[in-house]
Copies of this chain bind each other. A is one copy, B any other.
Amino acid sequence: MKTNDSLLGFALLGLLLEKPKSGYDLRKFFAATAMGSFSDSPGAIYPALDRLERQKLTRATVETSTGLRKRRVFKVTARGLAAFKAWLRRPLTRDDLIHRGDELMLRFAFMDQTLGADQATAFLREYARELEGYIPSLKAYLDATSVNMPMSARLAFEFGVQEHEAGLKWARTSIARYEQRKGNQE
């Protein structure tokens, strides 16, 4: 079921799940919100929409009613929803932590909407646990190798460590917020 390796495809699916949209709507959305780091260029979005449709993850219907030029409005199919959920549920690896932090955040952002709060909380716990293992090993590596680095190189490396530490802190307070909300609802 390996859809498409491009983050853009999943971002589009997630946005289309909320409500069917045209390519132009999506472009405007990306231009307005600077979400993730997706470009609003037609040369990226229209081909990506074509790919989704070829894989039958979306289906387009042409609107002429609106008076303006014809719009192609895309809806996510059942197959598309399944592929999207499979993406959200992928196991979290250390490699994701190191090389695909953006993708993890994108997945999490859509999780509440699509899988519910419990799954979102479980994801945060997994994320935190993985960081708890990774950060010490990264620090050990830094200590071992940074001795003869120029100062700015060492500081840049430390920045990387601190980013992960900020991520861990964020995950913990986020878990607490989910639990708090759950407590209030009962």
Q: A-side interface residues toward B, CB under 8 Å?
A: 33-34, 37, 98-99, 105-106, 108-113, 117, 120, 145, 150-153, 155-160, 162-163, 165-167, 169-170, 174, 177-178, 181
Copies per complex of this chain: 2
Consensus secondary structure, chain A interface? helix
In the docked arrangement, what's the CA distance between A163 and B171, Å?
A: 12
Q: Is the CB of B177 within 8 A of A105?
A: no
Q: Among the interface residues A99, A163, A165, A177, which one has the most CB atoms of the partner chain B within 10 A?
A: A163
In the docked arrangement, what's the CA distance between A166 and B111, Å?
A: 25
In the docked arrangement, what's the CA distance between A108 and B112, Å?
A: 37
CB distance from A173 to the nearest CB of B (A): 9
Residues of B within 8 A of A165 (CB): 166
Q: Is the CB of B120 within 8 A of A151?
A: yes
Residues of B within 8 A of A157 (CB): 109
Q: Is the CB of A159 within 8 A of B105?
A: yes
- Say yes or no: A153-B113 contact (C-beta < 8 A), given A34-B98, A163-B166, A167-B159: yes
A151: contacting residue among B106, B145, B163, B181, CB under 8 A:
B181
- Say yes or no: A177-B151 contact (C-beta < 8 A), given A98-B34, A99-B37: yes
